[in-house]
Structure 1
Amino acid sequence: MRRAFTLMLFLSLLQGALAWAALGSTPSNFGGTPTQTRMAARSLAASASESVYTVSQSTLDSGTIVREYVDSNGVVFAVSWNGPTLPDLRTLLGDKFTVMTSNAAKRPKAGHSQLAVDQSDVVIVSNGHMRAYTGQAWIPGALPAGFDTSSIE
């Protein structure tokens, strides 16, 4: 019974904002007008004249901040979230969402609110509790050369 309730709660939280893209695809549009959007180009080499990746930040109506790390080809290679509610992870993670849910189903449910998936095709770290959720996900093979995953905010 508790497992079913937890699953229903988790799925209801996932139905947040709508988006049209995902990790490994083009940047998302979280529906409506975000309360704050910031684009910042970042270069990995001090002497590089072109930016290697761009960080797009959106603040959802719920107050959750979503950051998408986009390479020079316009493909999202990493995402992060931080806020009082979960963003629409099904859309944000795209086809990697099934990896997350299948790993979540395998772990013990004894009050743990942390999930870590470390596979060759995706890394997902998610934790938190009501009104305080954080997480990051990235595609290891798509990271720009020299990108340090500890710089994901």
Structure 2
Amino acid sequence: MAESLPVDSSLFFKLVRVVNLTARPFHDTVGKANHLTLNEWRAMVVLASHPGVAAADIAESTGLDKMAVSRAIAGLDKTGRLVKKEDPGDQRRSRLYLSAEGQRLFTKVGRTAKKREAELFNGISAEELERFGATADKLVAAVRGLR
């Protein structure tokens, strides 16, 4: 018989649960109002921070698979929120940027996201958040090392 994994004590399950519980309301609130999927938003966050990256870089930064990133890019492109430019060093790659409309939407949705983040972390000290951030960085590095 397979070893059971207690839901209440599994750190991995807790992380997944936090992600799901925080992502779930996105569609009903921000997503519907702005005709934006969660993965499109995730791609926008990367593009706002790192203009000119390629799709593979978005996949690496977000942890999304290539197909999910491809759909997100197609959605952003279709709605005029994305600009693609040929990569002079590799004509098979496109450099991706938020368009003026994409930047406007990022600023608008970003205000809501920052407010939501502040609500979620209310009651957690700055020191605890700093430790958690450092631990999360170590987890990301460990997962990347396991591939």
TM over 0.5: no
More helix by share: 2
Higher relative contact order (CA 8 A, sep 6+): 1
TM-score (norm 2): 0.30
Instruction: Compare the two structures and name the one with the higher strand fraction.
Output: 1
Considering only CA atoms, is the larger Rg found in Structure 1 or Structure 2?
2
